[in-house]
Amino acid sequence: MNQEHFDTIKNKDGFIAALDQSGGSTPKALNDYGVSEDQYSNDDEMFDLVHKMRTRIITSPSFTPDKIIGAILFEHTMNNRIEGQYAGDYLSDKGIVPFIKIDQGLADEEHGVQLMKPIPGLNNLLQQAKEQNMFGTKMRSNILSYNEKGIDDVVTQQFQVAQEIIDAGLVPIVEPEVNIHSEDKEQIEEYLNQSIKNHLDALATDDYVMLKLTIPTKANIYQELADHSQVLRVVALSGGYERDEANEMLSQNDNVIASFSRALTQDLSVNQSDADFDAKLKEAVDSIYEASVVKN
């Protein structure tokens, strides 16, 4: 494990940029950026375009390590170069800790949740991630409604895979997302909090995870998780909230920092000049940083 990266994630003020849209979400991400589906004809062209988008973000003078402490990449980005360097090396040299998204999407809903699909070739992917100087991984599940069996199934699966990641020498970001439109959102979060804690308590003292959680309805409900000895950091996903609302909700939670995706990039466009692009990105970075470090 890279101790410098460990210390950065654990102790430094800032937030984590989620730049990990994958096959299913890439068309929407490109469309939001102003690149319509008629501008590419296959997956290779699509991924080349999204790599250009991510490269523009990462190389922007507004994408700085004084406010952004980490970035989550899609596998395609990890294996591509930015200004001649592999993405992980470029970010590390810039002072930003690189992570890799490893899940392969979601299974069909059952018991009110969507588990992760199987991850074929996980061991090979983790070895590749280490070779590409990734510090950690991220994997997402989805909780849609209150069902204790479903929630426990999600958390159990997340921690089973997390242990494989830990054993490979990486730090997993465990992400059991709670759908922001769920009528049971607050009740789900109360039960999820305890379910996660039970699994954290079972970790060895030298095993660490990060938690990526939907911004909770009840502020500071995850305080005990953030304080847990085996938790390196708790980060929040925007989950579909617009940036202003996400920032306002996040600012009410102590010891939780952002790991926003759409809320970070929502005002960016392929048609902007570099000056306008950098200015819009700076506005987003500054506001998300303030919400991450300044608490009410």
Ordered per-residue pLDDT tens for the chain, 296 residues: 789 999 999 999 999 999 987 656 788 889 989 999 899 999 889 989 989 999 999 999 999 999 999 999 988 889 999 999 999 999 999 999 999 999 999 999 999 999 999 999 999 999 999 999 999 999 999 999 999 999 999 999 999 999 999 999 999 999 999 999 999 999 999 999 999 999 999 999 999 999 999 999 999 999 999 999 999 999 999 888 999 999 999 999 999 999 999 899 999 999 999 999 999 999 999 999 999 996 54
- pLDDT tens digits, residue range 195-228? 999 999 999 999 999 999 999 999 999 999 999 9
Statement: the pTM of the whole predicted model exceeds 0.75: yes
Instruction: Check residue 58 and give its pLDDT.
Output: 96
- The pLDDT, as a whole number, for residue 216 is 96
Tell me what pLDDT residue 158 has.
98
Is 149 among the catalytic positions? no
Domain of 104: which CATH number?
Answer: 3.20.20.70
Catalytic residue, chosen from 67, 101, 138, 212, is: 212
pLDDT at residue number 91: 96
Beta-bridged to residue 237, according to DSSP, are 214
User: Among the options 67, 75, 101, 175, which is catalytic?
Assistant: 175
The DSSP symbol for 38 reads: G
When divided into structural domains, the chain yields a total of: 1
Q: According to the model, what pLDDT value does residue 43 have?
A: 87
What's phi and psi for 258, nearest 5 deg?
-80, 150
Surface-to-core class of residue 190, CB atoms within 10 Å of its CB (0-12 exposed, 13-18 middle, 19+ buried): middle
Longest dimension (CA), the chain: 52
| Residues of the domain holding 236 | 3-293
Query: What are the CB-based long-range contacts (under 8 Å, 24+) for 254-258?
Result: 254/220, 254/223, 254/226, 254/295, 255/223, 255/226, 255/227, 256/213, 256/215, 256/222, 256/226, 256/292, 257/14, 257/15, 257/16, 257/69, 257/233, 257/292, 257/293, 258/15, 258/16, 258/288, 258/291, 258/292
Is 212 a known active-site residue?
yes
Q: What is the pLDDT of residue 18?
A: 95
The pLDDT value given to residue 294: 62
Residues 259 and 15 sit within 8 Å (Cβ to Cβ): yes
